[in-house]
Amino acid sequence: MDVEPGTYAWCACGKSANQPYCDGSHKGTEFRPVIEKVSEPRKVAWCGCKHTGTPPFCDGSHAKL
């Protein structure tokens, strides 16, 4: 995904209706969003399966599910 400079809150719980970004749906759980600061425009691969070992980025863990 192409992203612009800014601060992003990646959803770690999987409940957000605004995936891959946090919308506050984690409230009442032990999950918290992962905050990622991007300083220049770039491509990122946000993890969608929530099983990555390198949150908030994809590491291919979905292939083992």
Structure tokens at 17: 């209706």
Element (H, E) at 8: strand 6-10
Beta strands 42-43 and 2-3 are antiparallel
pTM for the model stands at 0.92
For 23, other C-beta atoms within 10 Å of its C-beta total 13
One digit per residue, the tens of pLDDT, for the chain of length 65 reads: 999 999 999 999 999 999 999 999 999 999 999 999 999 999 999 999 999 999 999 999 999 99
What are the domain boundaries of the chain? Answer: 1-58
Tell the CATH topology of 1-58. Ribosomal Protein L9; domain 1 (3.40.5)
Total length of the chain: 65
**Exposed / middle / buried, residue 44 (Cβ in 10 Å: 0-12, 13-18, 19+):** middle
